[in-house]
Amino acid sequence: MPNLDASLIKERIMSHIKSRGPSMPVQIAKAVNISPLFASAFLSELFGEQKLKMSHMKVGSSSLYHIEGQEPMLENFIEHLNGKEKEAFNLLKKEKVLEDEKQEPAIRVALRSIKDFAHPKQISSQTGEKIIWKYFILPDSEISQNLSKAIPISHVKTEQKAKEQKPEKTIEQAAEKVKETIKEIETAIDIKKEPKPKKKLKIEDLAFCSSVKDCIKAKDIEILSILSEKKKEFIAKVRIDTPLGKQVLLLTAKDKKKATEEDLALALQKAQSEKMPALLMTTGELDKKSSEEFKAWSNLVKFERLKL
């Protein structure tokens, strides 16, 4: 695999998705000729930059990455929905709009699960506020035309406006409110269980980090800022001298006998999020697979063994 820079890899990923549509990380990795771990790192960054969107639907354990406007192409993957979700999808696709309260419980649950295809709206009718589900490609302007004539509609609210409305005091909504309150209480209890002040690491626990600092100081590597200090991991922004001048890198140092492909990918992902190259240092060597990956990615990830 030839050396590639990050911007070129991203361009190839975007080009693949533009031409092929929604894709899984493993498909993108194969098309761009990089490992799935490195593909996931770049996809995560593109998603964070809002250049890519990610489906709620899972194909196996993976979401589908796609570009805005490719949402209709997600229909090609509905075989990955479960039985009730498929039933809810087909019903919504046929009817275009469904009244939530008129659906059987299993369908109502399924509609809430297929977020890529079922979009909730609130309507004001003569009988009060109602939740409806619209087929994802149906324009809001056509909702009224597809609703049952038995329901006189005075207003269709967007998701944002719906959130601003006070909840109806129905038995169902009251039950939902109780569930939410219980969740909030449970969350609060869990938070209380966790010690608020973080435990300060003992001097002996910071021995590895101290050794790393001494080691990189001896190599004339300047520490600009320390991002994380753990018992077996040290992360910092550092600056080194190169023939072309000073260069800033994100250092990830680990106390490991064998550095894996995942260690390389994570170091790269962290560095890419900071817009800089990665420097991975470990107390051990790279394993066989990560050694092969490193040869191909040496322009983006630097590796050095720590001799503490």
Domain ranges of the chain: 6-78, 81-165, 203-305
Are domains 6-78 and 203-305 of this chain identical in fold?
no
Return the percentage of the chain with pLDDT > 90, whole number. 43
pLDDT digits (tens, 9 = 90+) for 17-32: 999 999 999 999 999 9
pLDDT at 166 over 60: no
> For 35, which DSSP code?
-
Per DSSP, what are the bridge partners of residue 62?
59
pLDDT digits (tens, 9 = 90+) for 221-266: 999 999 999 999 999 999 998 888 889 999 999 999 988 888 888 8
Long-range contacts of 3-9 (CB under 8 A, 24+ apart): 3/296, 3/297, 3/298, 3/299, 4/34, 4/299, 5/299, 5/300, 6/42, 6/272, 6/300, 9/34, 9/42
Q: Where does the pLDDT of residue 271 fall: very low under 50, low under 70, confident under 90, or very high at 90 and above?
A: confident
CATH architecture of 6-78: Orthogonal Bundle (1.10)
CA pair distance 7, 14, nearest whole angstrom: 11
> For 300, which DSSP code?
T
pLDDT at position 164, please?
A: 47
Taken as a whole, the chain contains a residue count of 308
pLDDT at position 65, please?
A: 95
Q: Which residue has the tokens 């354990």?
A: 61
pLDDT digits (tens, 9 = 90+) for 46-103: 998 899 999 999 988 789 999 999 999 999 999 999 999 999 999 999 999 999 989 9
Considering the domain 203-305 in this protein, what is its CATH number?
Answer: 3.40.1350
Q: Which residue has the tokens 């967007």?
A: 158
Q: Is residue 60 helix, strand or coil?
A: coil
pLDDT at position 157, please?
A: 53
pLDDT at position 98, please?
A: 92
Per DSSP, what are the bridge partners of residue 99?
132
Alpha-carbon torsion (226, 220, 306, 302), positive or negative: positive
